[in-house]
Structure 1
Amino acid sequence: MKHYWKRFKQLPVYQNKWLKISLAVLLLCIFFFFITLSNVYTETYNIERFNEAKETIRSPLSIENKKETERERREAIQAVEDRYEISSEITQERAGYVNELFEAIDKLEEEEKASKASDKEDPPAATDTEKAQKLQQIISPKLSEALDREELVALINASSEKRSLAKELLTTSIYEVMNDGVTTETVENAVKSVNEKLEYSSLSDDMKEVLYILSDFAIVENSFYDAEKTVEAQKHASNNVEPVMIRAGEIIVTEGQTITNEIYEQLKLVGLLNDDRNVYPLIGLILLIFLIGGIIAYEMHIHSKKRELDVRKIASIILISVLMVSLMKVASVFTDSVNQLFFLVPAATGAMLLKILLDERLALAMSILYSILASLIFNAEIPGSLNMEAGVYLLFSQLAGIIFLASLKDRIAILKAGIGITLVHILTVLLFLFLSFEKYAIADIFTFSGYGIVAAFLSSVLTIGLLPFFETGLGILSDTKLLTLSNPNHPLLRKILIEAPGTYHHSVMVANLSETACEAAGANGLLARVAAYYHDLGKTEQPHYFIENQMGITNPHDMLQPKQSAEIIINHPYAGAHLLRKHRLPKEIVDIAEQHHGKSLLQFFYHKAKEQNKQVKESDYRYPGPLPQTKEAAIVCVCDSVEAAVRSLKEPTNEKIEDIVTSIIHHKLMDGQLNDAPLTFKELEKIRKAICETLNGIFHSRIQYPTDQEVKEAN
Structure 2
Amino acid sequence: MKIKFHHILDVLKIKTKWVTLLLPGLILGIFFFAISLNNVFTETYDIERFTSAKQTIRSPITIENEQETERKTRETVQAVEDRYLISDEVTQEQIGYIEEIFDAIGKLENEVLIDEDSSENESPVVLTNQEKIIRLKEILSHEIIENVNDTVFLKLMKVSEEAREEGKEVFITAMKEVLESGVRIENKNSRVNVVKESVTYTTLDNELISALEELSSFAIVENSFYDAEKTAEARKEAANSVDPVLINAGEIIVREGQTITNEVYEKLTLVGLLNNERNVFPVIGLSLLIFLIISVVTYEMIVLQKQRKLDKGKIASILLVSLIVVTFMKVISLYTNQTNQLFFIVPVATGVLLLKLLINERLSIVMASLYAIIGCIIFNGQIPGALNVEAGIYFFFSQLAGIIFLRNVKDRFAIVKSGLGMSLANSITVLLFVFLSFEKYSWLDLLIHTGYGVAAALLSAVLTIGLLSYFESGLGILSDVKLLQLSSPNQPLLKKILTESPGTYHHSIMVANISETACEAIGANGLLARVGAYYHDIGKTVRPHYFIENQLAIKNPHDVISPKQSAEIIIHHPYDGAEMLKKHKLPKEIIDIAMQHHGTTLLKYFYYKEKDTNKKVKEADYRYPGPKPQTKEAAIICICDSVEAAVRSLKEPTEEKIDEIVASIVNDRLMDGQLDECPLTLKEVKIIHRTICETLKGIFHSRIQYPMKEAK
Q: Same fold (TM over 0.5)?
A: yes
| Aligned counterparts of 1:113 and 1:218: Cα–Cα separation in 2 | 31
What per-residue deviation string (whole Å, max 9, x for no partner) do you get for residues 441-500 of structure 1? Answer: 333233233333332232122111211221111111111111111111111111101111
Q: Is the 8 A contact 2:539 2:574 kept in 1?
A: yes
Between the aligned residues of both structures, percent identity stands at 61
For the residue of structure 1 that corresponds to 2:225, the secondary structure is strand
What per-residue deviation string (whole Å, max 9, x for no partner) do you get for residues 496-534 of structure 1? Answer: 011110000000111111111111222111111111101
| Aligned counterparts of 1:660 and 1:621: Cα–Cα separation in 2 | 22
Q: Does 1:236 align with 2:233?
A: no
- Which consecutive aligned stretches of 4+ in structure 1 deviate over 6 angstroms post-superposition? 113-116
| Aligned counterparts of 1:174 and 1:681: Cα–Cα separation in 2 | 110
How far off is 1:283 after superposition? 1.2
2:89 aligned residue: 89
| Aligned counterparts of 1:549 and 1:556: Cα–Cα separation in 2 | 12
1:504 aligned residue: 505
| Aligned counterparts of 2:203 and 2:442: Cα–Cα separation in 1 | 72
1:144 aligned residue: 145
How does 1:366-385 map onto structure 2 within 5 Å? 366-385=367-386
Of residues 533-542 and 300-309 in structure 1, the stretch that sits farther from structure 2 once superposed is: 300-309
| Aligned counterparts of 1:27 and 1:498: Cα–Cα separation in 2 | 50
How does 1:674-713 map onto structure 2 within 5 Å? 674-708=675-709
Q: Is the 8 A contact 2:536 2:594 kept in 1?
A: yes
RMSD over equivalenced CA pairs, Å: 2.1
| Aligned counterparts of 1:120 and 1:176: Cα–Cα separation in 2 | 52
Seen in structure 2, the aligned counterparts of structure 1 residues 532 and 109 have a Cα distance that, compared at 3 Å, is: same
For the residue of structure 2 that corresponds to 1:85, the secondary structure is strand
Letter in 1 for 2:699: I
For the residue of structure 2 that corresponds to 1:252, the secondary structure is strand
Of residues 213-222 and 419-428 in structure 1, the stretch that sits farther from structure 2 once superposed is: 419-428
Q: Does 1:358 align with 2:381?
A: no
How far off is 1:13 after superposition? 7.1
Letter in 2 for 1:63: I
Seen in structure 2, the aligned counterparts of structure 1 residues 348 and 13 have a Cα distance that, compared at 3 Å, is: farther
How does 1:567-582 map onto structure 2 within 5 Å? 567-582=568-583
What per-residue deviation string (whole Å, max 9, x for no partner) do you get for residues 207-244 of structure 1? Answer: 33322232111211000111111111111111111111
1:465 aligned residue: 466
Seen in structure 2, the aligned counterparts of structure 1 residues 142 and 556 have a Cα distance that, compared at 3 Å, is: same
| Aligned counterparts of 2:581 and 2:100: Cα–Cα separation in 1 | 130
Q: Is the 8 A contact 1:13 1:20 kept in 2?
A: no
Seen in structure 2, the aligned counterparts of structure 1 residues 213 and 15 have a Cα distance that, compared at 3 Å, is: closer
| Aligned counterparts of 1:626 and 1:295: Cα–Cα separation in 2 | 35
Letter in 1 for 2:409: L
Of residues 505-514 and 431-440 in structure 1, the stretch that sits farther from structure 2 once superposed is: 431-440
Counting matched residue pairs gives 702
| Aligned counterparts of 2:115 and 2:679: Cα–Cα separation in 1 | 139
Of residues 267-276 and 331-340 in structure 1, the stretch that sits farther from structure 2 once superposed is: 331-340
Seen in structure 2, the aligned counterparts of structure 1 residues 230 and 386 have a Cα distance that, compared at 3 Å, is: same
| Aligned counterparts of 1:150 and 1:261: Cα–Cα separation in 2 | 68
| Aligned counterparts of 1:10 and 1:540: Cα–Cα separation in 2 | 40
Q: Is the 8 A contact 2:159 2:207 kept in 1?
A: no
Letter in 2 for 1:692: C
Letter in 2 for 1:31: F
How does 1:174-193 map onto structure 2 within 5 Å? 174-193=175-194
Q: Is the 8 A contact 1:40 1:381 kept in 2?
A: yes
How far off is 1:367 after superposition? 0.9
| Aligned counterparts of 2:445 and 2:204: Cα–Cα separation in 1 | 79
| Aligned counterparts of 1:425 and 1:478: Cα–Cα separation in 2 | 27
How far off is 1:156 after superposition? 2.7
| Aligned counterparts of 2:38 and 2:149: Cα–Cα separation in 1 | 92
Q: Is the 8 A contact 1:527 1:632 kept in 2?
A: yes
| Aligned counterparts of 2:461 and 2:11: Cα–Cα separation in 1 | 38
How does 1:98-117 map onto structure 2 within 5 Å? 98-112=98-112
For the residue of structure 1 that corresponds to 2:136, the secondary structure is helix
Letter in 2 for 1:477: L
How does 1:403-552 map onto structure 2 within 5 Å? 403-552=404-553
| Aligned counterparts of 2:343 and 2:177: Cα–Cα separation in 1 | 70
| Aligned counterparts of 2:76 and 2:249: Cα–Cα separation in 1 | 27
What per-residue deviation string (whole Å, max 9, x for no partner) do you get for residues 314-362 of structure 1? Answer: 1110010011101111111111223322222111110110000000110
What per-residue deviation string (whole Å, max 9, x for no partner) do you get for residues 386-437 of structure 1? Answer: 1122222222221222122111111222223222222323333333333332
Q: Does 1:210 align with 2:197?
A: no
How far off is 1:125 after superposition? 2.4
How far off is 1:439 after superposition? 2.3
| Aligned counterparts of 1:449 and 1:11: Cα–Cα separation in 2 | 56
| Aligned counterparts of 2:120 and 2:516: Cα–Cα separation in 1 | 145
For the residue of structure 1 that corresponds to 2:314, the secondary structure is helix
Q: Is the 8 A contact 2:114 2:124 kept in 1?
A: no
Seen in structure 2, the aligned counterparts of structure 1 residues 29 and 110 have a Cα distance that, compared at 3 Å, is: same
| Aligned counterparts of 1:613 and 1:145: Cα–Cα separation in 2 | 158
Letter in 2 for 1:50: F
Seen in structure 2, the aligned counterparts of structure 1 residues 148 and 499 have a Cα distance that, compared at 3 Å, is: closer
Seen in structure 2, the aligned counterparts of structure 1 residues 198 and 405 have a Cα distance that, compared at 3 Å, is: same
Q: Is the 8 A contact 1:40 1:383 kept in 2?
A: yes
| Aligned counterparts of 1:531 and 1:609: Cα–Cα separation in 2 | 33
How far off is 1:161 after superposition? 0.7
1:41 aligned residue: 41
How far off is 1:708 after superposition? 4.5
Seen in structure 2, the aligned counterparts of structure 1 residues 427 and 203 have a Cα distance that, compared at 3 Å, is: closer
| Aligned counterparts of 1:453 and 1:202: Cα–Cα separation in 2 | 86
Of residues 205-214 and 87-96 in structure 1, the stretch that sits farther from structure 2 once superposed is: 205-214
Q: Is the 8 A contact 2:113 2:125 kept in 1?
A: no
Of residues 15-24 and 379-388 in structure 1, the stretch that sits farther from structure 2 once superposed is: 15-24
Seen in structure 2, the aligned counterparts of structure 1 residues 195 and 355 have a Cα distance that, compared at 3 Å, is: same
| Aligned counterparts of 1:136 and 1:418: Cα–Cα separation in 2 | 108
Seen in structure 2, the aligned counterparts of structure 1 residues 142 and 692 have a Cα distance that, compared at 3 Å, is: same
Q: Does 1:600 align with 2:601?
A: yes
For the residue of structure 2 that corresponds to 1:488, the secondary structure is coil
How far off is 1:170 after superposition? 1.7
Seen in structure 2, the aligned counterparts of structure 1 residues 222 and 119 have a Cα distance that, compared at 3 Å, is: farther
Q: Does 1:557 align with 2:533?
A: no
| Aligned counterparts of 1:584 and 1:149: Cα–Cα separation in 2 | 132
Q: Is the 8 A contact 1:129 1:149 kept in 2?
A: no
Q: Is the 8 A contact 1:515 1:525 kept in 2?
A: yes
| Aligned counterparts of 2:680 and 2:153: Cα–Cα separation in 1 | 129
For the residue of structure 1 that corresponds to 2:318, the secondary structure is helix
| Aligned counterparts of 2:188 and 2:452: Cα–Cα separation in 1 | 76
For the residue of structure 1 that corresponds to 2:85, the secondary structure is strand
How far off is 1:607 after superposition? 0.8
| Aligned counterparts of 2:406 and 2:252: Cα–Cα separation in 1 | 46
Q: Is the 8 A contact 1:425 1:449 kept in 2?
A: yes
Of residues 485-494 and 392-401 in structure 1, the stretch that sits farther from structure 2 once superposed is: 392-401
2:5 aligned residue: none
How far off is 1:115 after superposition? 11
> Any gaps of 5 or more consecutive residues in structure 1?
1-8
For the residue of structure 2 that corresponds to 1:554, the secondary structure is coil
Seen in structure 2, the aligned counterparts of structure 1 residues 14 and 400 have a Cα distance that, compared at 3 Å, is: farther
> Any gaps of 5 or more consecutive residues in structure 2?
1-8
How far off is 1:669 after superposition? 0.8
1:262 aligned residue: 263
How far off is 1:709 after superposition? 5.3
How far off is 1:179 after superposition? 0.8
For the residue of structure 2 that corresponds to 1:612, the secondary structure is coil
